[in-house]
Chain A
Amino acid sequence: QQQVKQSPQSLIVQKGGISIINCAYENTAFDYFPWYQQFPGKGPALLIAIRPDVSEKKEGRFTISFNKSAKQFSLHIMDSQPGDSATYFCAARGVSKNTGANSKLTFGKGITLSVRP
């Protein structure tokens, strides 16, 4: 059972355009929703994150929009640049069924973004 689903599977955007990546989750107990960015040959790195009591968070060109009732959140990249070309993972943090601690991150499958010059 996939608890975090990303769409689309891949995305091609022209330089200067807006990239939008969507994520849907099932578990209402998730309490933290990060986006990770991964460049080829590197490990993922945190890009931006949001808590469910906030509807939007903006950091530079990157914005997370969060819709708690729809159980969806999305990443918007404004003025997309070729340097933004990477794989993007959404994730959600939940409670470990064995320990009860908020520590387990469940990742989506990732999407490859290509920004054309």
Chain B
Amino acid sequence: EAQVTQNPRYLITVTGKKLTVTCSQNMNHEYMSWYRQDPGLGLRQIYYSMNVEVTDKGDVPEGYKVSRKEKRNFPLILESPSPNQTSLYFCASSFMGFTLSYNEQFFGPGTRLTVL
């Protein structure tokens, strides 16, 4: 089954304790992205990657890191989490859009993070 998986689905942690949220896709997509969803703010892009070893900042990258060492995996790293990073996080992937063909982004099930 074609899918994007995220782990963990739920996480409660304390301020300053490093954590990693994993994301994996099995569709051979070049493009992967992390979003956070907050009430009243919609989906905001954190980081994205267009291929292995190619990553770039989205709209709200502060406090986050990513890496893309393999095509299928795109982990999100919070080196020193703070309470304002409490949010619902989504990983998404798609084929690349160099043409006007449709580029459906497939989203994972989400990770609900609470930082105390």
For the complex, give the distance between the alpha carbons of A107 and B58 in Å: 12
Decide: A46 near B104, CB < 8 A? Known: A93-B97, A101-B98.
Answer: yes
Across the interface, B97 reaches (CB within 8 A) one of A43, A103, A109, A110, namely: A103
Flag if B105 contacts A105 (CB, 8 Å). yes
In the complex, what residues of A have CB within 8 A of residue B43's CB? 44, 89, 107, 110
For the complex, give the distance between the alpha carbons of A105 and B40 in Å: 18
**Considering only CB atoms, which chain B residue lies closest to A98 in the complex?**
B56
Which bucket holds chain B's interface residue count? 20 to 34
In the complex, what residues of A have CB within 8 A of residue B35's CB? 107
For the complex, give the distance between the alpha carbons of A99 and B109 in Å: 28
B90 an interface residue at 8 Å Cβ cutoff?
yes
**Considering only CB atoms, which chain A residue lies closest to B54 in the complex?**
A99
What number of A residues sit within 8 Å (CB to CB) of B? 26
Decide: A96 near B56, CB < 8 A? Known: A43-B107, A101-B96, A102-B97.
Answer: yes
Instruction: Report A80-115 CB contacts with B as 1/0, cut-off 8 Å.
Output: 000000000100010010110111111111100000
In the complex, what residues of B have CB within 8 A of residue A89's CB? 42-43
- A–B Cβ pairs within 8 angstroms, 24 of them: A34-B102, A34-B104, A41-B110, A42-B109, A44-B43, A44-B107, A46-B104, A89-B43, A93-B97, A98-B56, A99-B56, A102-B97, A102-B98, A102-B99, A102-B100, A103-B94, A103-B96, A104-B45, A104-B48, A105-B33, A105-B45, A107-B42, A107-B44, A109-B40
